[in-house]
Amino acid sequence: MNYHVLTLFPEMVLQGLNTSIIGRAMEKGLISIEAIDIREFSSDKHKRVDDYPYGGGAGMVMQAEPVYKAYQWIAEQIQEKNMNHKKPRVIYVTPQGSLFHQNTAKEYAEEEDLIFLCGHYEGIDERVLDMIVTDYVSIGDYVLTGGELPAMVMIDAISRLIPGVLNNDVSAEFESLQDNLLEYPQYTRPENFMGQTVPEVLLSGHHANIDTWRRQQSILRTHQRRPELLEEANLSKKERAFLEQLQKDC
């Protein structure tokens, strides 16, 4: 997976992603992250990339030309490298986009190249967005100062789904939000922490019982914290009966 981030703050993106698991994935060559400085594509002698909005109003708008040139530069390289004319996906991170979800991460993890476009100020000239953007994506209903953090959030979520990025591939499958259920609680040594003990079943060595207990804890936790997720969860008959009992009890 090769990520190409169009940004005014390339060092923010690179420094934010070069540690821990994502940093190791880069070292191993499983992913690459390139940050392209939009400012370098400005034809203004002061390298300006923003201007006042037509029609007035607060703030500045990023101009179409430097964004378009930066996009063209990278899109051409990607097309040459892949020896095809398939246009790479361009994700504009914006609070006006559709919400990023685990399933979105899974879908993006199938791509070979992804371009992220990060805006600043009051946004980007609509004309260049119309020309290059394929996906408008938000990470939540709140407004940040720029698109770099959302792009980094998405890159992290996508990368951990790429084979080899996590040490054990199993843990990418059995985790929060897979199957629309939250993850069950986890415990490690010591067995007794300030008088609080580990649930008996986890010490039993009985794997079938442990699996059942964990599924039930996942359902219980989802019911308590994110009940709306359960509408799309895949539950067995027994699990559905367990959930109906929980719903009756509250």
Contact 3, 33 (CB under 8 A): yes
Question: In the complex with ligand ADE, which residue's Cβ is closer, 141 or 231?
Answer: 141
Nearest to 179 by CA among 222, 225, 238: 222
Find the shortest distance in angstroms from Cβ 148 to ligand ADE.
9
Q: Which residues bind ligand ADE (CB under 6 A)?
A: 93-95, 138-140, 142-144, 147, 150
Find the shortest distance in angstroms from Cβ 60 to ligand ADE.
15
Q: Kindly write down the DSSP assignment for every residue of 133-149, as one continuous string.
A: -SEEEESSSS--S-SHH
Q: What are the phi and psi torsion angles at 5 (to 5°)?
A: -110, 115
Question: In the complex with ligand ADE, which residue's Cβ is closer, 113 or 148?
Answer: 148
Strand ranges, E, within the chain: 2-7, 32-37, 50-51, 61-62, 89-99, 113-118, 135-138, 192-193, 196-197
Question: In the complex with ligand ADE, which residue's Cβ is closer, 93 or 133?
Answer: 93
Find the shortest distance in angstroms from Cβ 160 to ligand ADE.
19
Find the shortest distance in angstroms from Cβ 138 to ligand ADE.
4
Question: In the complex with ligand ADE, which residue's Cβ is closer, 143 or 194?
Answer: 143
Find the shortest distance in angstroms from Cβ 10 to ligand ADE.
17
Using CA atoms, how far apart are residues 235 and 58, in angstroms rounded to an integer?
50
Structure tokens at 65: 């030309």
Question: In the complex with ligand ADE, which residue's Cβ is closer, 120 or 215?
Answer: 120
Question: In the complex with ligand ADE, which residue's Cβ is closer, 88 or 150?
Answer: 150
Using CA atoms, how far apart are residues 137 and 33, in angstroms rounded to an integer?
19
Find the shortest distance in angstroms from Cβ 229 to ligand ADE.
20
Using CA atoms, how far apart are residues 245 and 228, in angstroms rounded to an integer?
17
